[in-house]
Structure 1
Amino acid sequence: MDFDLSEEQRLLKDSVERLLADRYDFESRKRYGREPEGFTRAMWAAYAEQGLLAVPFSEEDGGIGGGPVETMIVMEAFGGALALEPYLATVVLAGGVLRHAASPEQRAEWLPGLIAGETRYAFAHSERQARYDLNDVGVTARRDGDGWVLEGEKSLVLHGDSADRLIVSARTAGSRRDRDGIGLFLVEANAEGVSRRGYPTQDGLRAAEVSLSSVRVGADAAIGDPASALPVIERVTDEAIAALCAEAVGAMDRMHNLTVEYLKTRKQFGVTIGSFQVLQHRAAEMFIALEQARSMAFLATMMAGEDDAEERARAVAGAKVQIGRSGRIVGQGAVQLHGGVGVTMEYSVGHYFKRVTMIDQLFGDADHHLGRVARMGGLIAA
């Protein structure tokens, strides 16, 4: 199997890495994170100017026609830089819903603003009682004339406090845990009845609790079939997990490099600590875990576009298991080999470990996905 990037993919990789190297060192990140929205709009505009926001969208919709590999390239670079901007929320999650479920007329109306960086979106799906069950939806949408009225609460909406528009999942029929009867609706973030409580997450990003109180939307706000949106939600979530796996690899790679450099320069007993064999072994174990994670991230990327939902879910779940386990090995090793400085707010290693830990929790931790793989008969079907 050919893992080499095409010329266009290499150019994308070089351009995004150059942009982040020039404008996203750790001190700049801390400064960006202190802005009211938790990131800087200047970098968001730079992403739009370089075409990064257009990566996964078709040329007919104004994008560049990229796929999971291009998304992997961007997300891995973001992981290495600890980028704060809502790329996952806007482009991968909300953008994925629009790519897979929106009508041509809806895409023509909504995507240009997203691609240009003028409109940010958030995907409001998680609820407090649901944990990792995508079909557990308690927010309701009832018909009201030609439109809909939405009622309920959404939790941990990534970058929901700064989004201009929300894509909200809501139950149009059936009971709370039924697989059928779920719809997706576009809601203006400033619409009457929408309230948001934003807060920082442990990794320095942002999320929000969103309340919907008799929020009225028109018939044109429904994205796809308002009674059978779960397959779209599952597909978009699988794509998001593949993107997060790539981001985690970027963060782990950076942690490993920082640790090896520290071992080469930090001296104890008159010699560099990297000369001690036991620490060399620990760094080697980190490298093995990193490469295992990288291989599984490749698998998730290759399978993210698979139409067979079960095969896609099997590969993505397997990748999430490895990412969670590798993230712990690499993160703990990086912190411990750095000593006390590894957990200070002023040094980057601890922040990378926080982000990798949060990635493990998003959309199901390693234990959750290990259970999924077991129920599906293993990573390789019999």
Structure 2
Amino acid sequence: MNFTFSEEQNLFRDSIRRYLEETYPFEGRHKIIDQPNGYTEELWQSLAELGWLALPFAEEYDGLGGSAVDTMIVMEEIGRALLVSPFLSTVLLSGQLITTAGLENQKLDLIPQIGAGQLKLALAYAEPASGFDIAHVATTAEKEGNGYRLNGTKCAVFHAQSADIIILVARTSGATDDKEGLSLFLLDPTMAGLGIKSYRTHDGGCASDIVFDDALLPEKALLGEIGTAYPHLEKVIDQASVALCAEASGAMWAISEQSGAYFKTREQFGQNLGSFQALQHRLVEVYMKCQLSQSLVYDAVCGLDLPDESTDGVINTTAQEDIAQKVSAAKYQVGLDARSVGQEGIQFHGGMGMMTELPIGHYYKRITMINATFGDPRYHLKRYRDMMCKTISNAA
């Protein structure tokens, strides 16, 4: 695959990197993530002013009409800078879910507010017993009068404590593991019958567990059409998975570059560490893993920019399955290589690599969290194998 950034994309990437180096240096990062929500409102508004929040949305919703490649550039630089913000939960999960599943009036109302930094959202889809299976939904939304009665539990809802709206995935029909019968709802976090327990994740982020106890929703809270959420949810999760792979790729490159710089300044036995051939070989292996993982990310990202809907707006399942294979390939390889690169980075820095004062350990924490989000390497290896077997069976 021949992948080359355009001149505009190179300038875009450089501007993002300079901005984050100036406004989000590692030395001041701990003060920001120590805030109650793990970030500052000033930072969030600055991202809106720069256009990051409006980047992936269409121009008719006051967006910038950016491509998946543009979003990948942003996520790679976020990975390099170890930026903590609700960008993933608000823009790439909730915002994209509204775009693909919402009704036109809902898009016109919500998307411009997201792009302007006026609205933060969180997606509540995972449950304690669901693992990585997004179809396993036991939380129910039973029709009652002119509304829906909610009961159930959601876990690991990123940035729910600071969200203005929570998008809930609930079952309106079918058995617990059915792909059919899933619906989306827009929730007010302060509504009666909803309990939120928030906590910090070990990479510096924020998440919450949510319990619904006979919470009553009005009928207008339904997002999109009833019972049709699964294909939209699967599509958005795959897009977000690639974005996380791009973030991990940015973190891997940062580890590689910082390790190389450390070898030039750290001396052992009167020589720079970079002069030892064994360490040179290990650093080259790190570089090769960074290149391999980034190549798979680029391949998956290019697939995301291809149309996966027919002219009538119905999702093309064949096209989505092809994209899903590339997503799982990237998530698997990046998961393995990012962990290996993170471990090497800590080893290269010796005991100092374990200190909180250096960024190396923080990169490894973030990589570990990315591996546990939307499926770990073992899950995606199985998913890829199952899809390949299905493809071969259909061809036969």
- Identify whether the pair has TM-score above 0.5, normalized to the shorter chain: yes
- Equivalent positions of 1:37-56 (< 5 A) are 37-56=37-56
Residue in 2 that maps onto 1:336? 347
Question: Which amino acid in the other structure matches residue 86 of structure 1?
Answer: P
Unaligned runs of 5+ in 2: 309-318
Who is 2:123 aligned against? 123
Following superposition, the deviation at residue 154 of structure 1 comes to 0.4
Letter in 1 for 2:289: A
TM-score, length of structure 2 as denominator length? 0.94
Which position in structure 2 is the counterpart of 1:191? 191
8 Å CA contact retained: 1:345, 1:351: yes
Which amino acid letter does the alignment assign opposite residue 333 of structure 2? Answer: Q
Given the superposition, is the C-alpha separation of residues 380 and 203 from structure 1 closer, same or farther in structure 2, using an over 3 Å criterion? farther
Amino acid at match of 2:4: D
Q: Distance in 2 between matches of 1:315 and 1:81?
A: 26
CA distance in 1, matches of 2:300, 2:71: 12
State whether residues 183 and 222 of structure 1, in contact with CA within 8 Å, keep that contact through their aligned partners in structure 2: yes
1:36 equivalent in structure 2: 36
- Mapped to 2, the partners of 1:298 and 1:118 lie a distance apart of 31
Q: Which runs of 4+ in 1 moved over 4 A?
A: 378-382
Q: Distance in 2 between matches of 1:139 and 1:250?
A: 36
1:274 aligns with 274
For 2:26, the aligned partner's letter is F
Task: Count residues with an aligned counterpart.
Answer: 382
1:8 Cα deviation after fit:
3.7
Secondary structure of the 1:241 match is helix
CA distance in structure 1 between the partners assigned to 2:274 and 2:291 by the alignment: 21
CA distance in 1, matches of 2:390, 2:246: 19
| 1:185-334 alignment runs, 5 A limit | 185-306=185-306, 307=308, 308-334=319-345
Q: 1:73 to 1:379 in 2, by over 3 A?
A: farther
Superposition deviation, residue 188 in structure 1: 1.1
Residue in 1 that maps onto 2:385: 374
Seen in structure 2, the aligned counterparts of structure 1 residues 379 and 343 have a Cα distance that, compared at 3 Å, is farther
Which whole-Å CA distance do the structure 1 matches of 2:11 and 2:131 have between them? Answer: 39
* TM-superposed deviation, 1:220: 2.1
Comparing 1-10 with 132-141, greater Cα deviation is found at 1-10
Superposed, 1:150-161 pairs within 5 Å as: 150-161=150-161
SS of 2:162's equivalent in the other structure is coil
Cα distance, 1:216 vs structure 2: 2.2
Gaps of 5+ in 1: none
Structure 1 position 192, deviation (Å): 1.7
- Give aligned-pair identity as a percent: 40
| 1:175 equivalent in structure 2 | 175
Letter in 1 for 2:220: D
CA shift digits 1:253-306 (9 cap, x unpaired): 001111011111100100011111111111011011110110011012112244
Matched with 2:313 is none
Deviation at 1:214, TM superposition (A): 2.2
1:238–1:304 contact (8 Å) kept in structure 2? no
Structure 1 285/58 Cα, relative in aligned 2: closer, same or farther at 3 Å?
A: same
After superposition, residues 54-203 of structure 1 pair within 5 angstroms as 54-203=54-203
In structure 1, what residue type is equivalent to 2:352?
V
Secondary structure at 1:4's aligned position in 2?
Answer: coil
Answer yes or no: is the 8 Å Cα contact 1:373–1:379 preserved in 2.
Answer: no
CA shift, 1:27, in A, is: 1.6
Distance in 1, Cα, partners of 2:347 & 2:389: 34
Query: 2: distance between equivalents of 1:2 and 1:224?
Result: 39
Aligned match of 1:361: 372
SS in 2 for 1:196: strand
Q: Are the counterparts in 2 of residues 9 and 70 from structure 1 also a CA contact under 8 Å?
A: yes
Q: Which moved more, 1:191-200 or 1:333-342?
A: 191-200
